[in-house]
Amino acid sequence: MKERIVTAERVTGETSISLTLNLDGSGKCGVECPIGFLSHMLASFCKHGLFDLAGTLSGDLHVDQHHLVEDTGIVLGQAFDKALGSRAGIRRAGFFLYPMDETLARAAVDFGGRPFLVAELGLTGIPLVAGAASPASGPSAAGNPCASFQTDTVEDFWQGFAAGARCNLHLDILRGRSDHHKIEAAFKAAARALREAVSIDERAGGAIPSTKGVIGG
């Protein structure tokens, strides 16, 4: 099977992002990410999708986390799109239910070439506050833009991903209490659904999985 390893980059006045993705990896995540919770989500995404991901993320965190989180989703999606190419031979669609304690997340994806996101995550919008500041952040976490995570950026991440990957993605939290659990369960469910969708279907014989004979424009 041809290696599906690609690099995608985005450099703007707001962010600078470079990601190298191996769709057929073993779950390794080596992304230099300044936002602790996002780093945790990317590691979980790789582990459950068996994707290898490496690279660097930087952005205008003195403004807020929105630009960096959204653009990371865009670049990750573009990497998937680039790695899949014509989509020949893949299963194309995937689905997963992921339980995490009191939370149950559902993800469904279709790499059909048309970007669309539906996300019903039921988040409170209240930032997740990190624990003690790291040595790099000084003696206090006060004023550190990475000492908490803006949960309202999660949907922006997945909107960017769907656009970059040219896929339909539906993410739903069916039940749950903790925003941490809701977000993490959504990332894990998405990873498992994506893992199914990008896997090679041996019965397809390398055909493009569409009656049109082509996916995308």
The residues spanned by each domain of the chain are 5-204
Most distant CA pair in the chain, distance:
60
pLDDT, residue 134, reads: 43
Spacing of C-alpha 194 from chain mean position? 10
One-letter amino acid for residue 177 of the chain: R
Give the ranges where the chain is alpha helix by DSSP (H): 36-49, 66-84, 154-165, 179-198
Q: How many whole angstroms separate alpha carbon 79 and alpha carbon 165? A: 7
pLDDT, tens digit, 9 for 90 and up, residues 5-52: 999 999 999 999 999 999 999 999 999 999 999 999 999 999 999 999
Which CATH number does the domain 5-204 belong to among 1.10.287.130, 3.90.1150.10, 3.30.70.270, 3.30.230.40? 3.30.230.40
Q: Are 27 and 47 in contact (CB under 8 A)?
A: yes
Give tens-digit pLDDT for 129-181: 876 444 443 333 445 766 799 999 999 999 999 999 999 999 999 999 999 99
- Token code pair at residue 36: 């602790």
